[in-house]
């Protein structure tokens, strides 16, 4: 039973560029959330997708956008990258009606130079 | 706005000792309080969780103590082992099923020395 998988694991982008990160949820899960974890900090909630719609959003600018596909996988897009966007981006999945447990992937390390 | 405050920032404990990490929250609407363990280069993994109608929950060497009136909760790791060395995050969330947003504390880096 595969857990939450994310790609790529590491990437380096230049300031001003755009990046797309990908996530496949745990088998049987239908809800995907994205978190940003800066070095030495706790994860910060970006947004959550269910039924291909953004259901909740944290305090992040519109440069951060996402998408969920019919197979429940998800993408996180960040436009006009800033140096401060350098962080570990975590995807978490859960299933509606199955309690509060969410499962995290290993994350995608983004470095903006 | 820091809704979940965690202390200490770092902790060094000898093998066999007790590790204690404390958290406090502000929003009384939170109804689920998980603890996550994160090893370097890995994503957070759920360790143990509690709901506010329970004052204590124990799973193996890990115990959560919860004080609803004080809006505080803590993690106790008994008989700490070098393999427990990791960063621990307390968290709080609200909402049912998958409709929840988890708010994390700032983390505690635990080092267990032999």
Q: What is the pLDDT of residues A32-65, one digit of tens each?
A: 999 999 998 999 999 999 999 999 899 999 999 9
- Per-residue confidence (pLDDT) for residue A102, from 0 to 100: 87
Size of interface A-B (CB pairs under 8 A): 76
**Mean pLDDT lowest among A12-21, A51-60, B18-27:** A51-60
- Residues A9 and A62: beta-carbon distance below 8 Å: no
Q: What is the pLDDT of residues B69-97, one digit of tens each?
A: 999 999 999 999 999 999 999 999 887 65
Across the interface, of B32, B43, B97, the residue whose CB is closest to A107 is B43
**What are the strands of the beta sheet with B4-7, ordered from one edge?**
B4-7, B19-25, B72-77, B62-67, B56-59
Who has greater pLDDT, B1 or A81?
A81
Contact status of B43 with chain A (Cβ, < 8 Å): yes
Q: What is the mean pLDDT of residues B5-27?
A: 97
Best probe of the B interface among A100, A104, A105, by most B CBs < 10 A, is A100
CA distances from A89 to A15, A37, B85 (A): 17, 6, 23
The span from the CA of B72 to the CA of B12, in Å, is 22
b/e B72-98 (16+ beta carbons within 10 angstroms → b): ebbbbbeebeeebbbbbbbbbbbbeeb
């Amino acid at each position: 039973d595969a857990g939450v998988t994310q790609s790529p694991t590491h990437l380096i982008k230049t300031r001003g560029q755009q990046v797309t990160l990908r996530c496949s949820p745990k088998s049987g899960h239908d809800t995907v959330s994205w978190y940003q974890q800066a070095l030495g900090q706790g994860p910060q909630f970006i947004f959550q997708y269910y039924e291909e719609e953004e259901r909740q959003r944290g305090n992040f600018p519109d440069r951060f956008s996402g998408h969920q596909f019919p197979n429940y996988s998800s993408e996180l897009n960040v436009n006009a990258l800033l140096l401060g966007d350098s962080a570990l981006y975590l995807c978490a999945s859960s299933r509606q009606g199955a309690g509060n447990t969410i499962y995290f992937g290993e994350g995608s390390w983004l470095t903006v130079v | 706005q820091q809704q979940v405050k965690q202390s200490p920032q770092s902790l060094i404990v000898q093998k066999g000792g007790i590790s204690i990490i404390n958290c406090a929250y502000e929003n009384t609407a939170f109804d689920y309080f998980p603890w996550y363990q994160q090893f370097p280069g890995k994503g957070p993994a759920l360790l143990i969780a509690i709901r506010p109608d329970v004052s204590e929950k124990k799973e193996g060497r890990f115990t959560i103590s919860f004080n609803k009136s004080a809006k505080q909760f803590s993690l106790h790791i008994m008989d700490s082992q070098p393999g427990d060395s990791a960063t621990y995050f307390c968290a709080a969330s609200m909402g049912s099923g998958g409709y929840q947003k988890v708010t994390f504390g700032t983390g505690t880096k635990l080092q267990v020395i032999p």
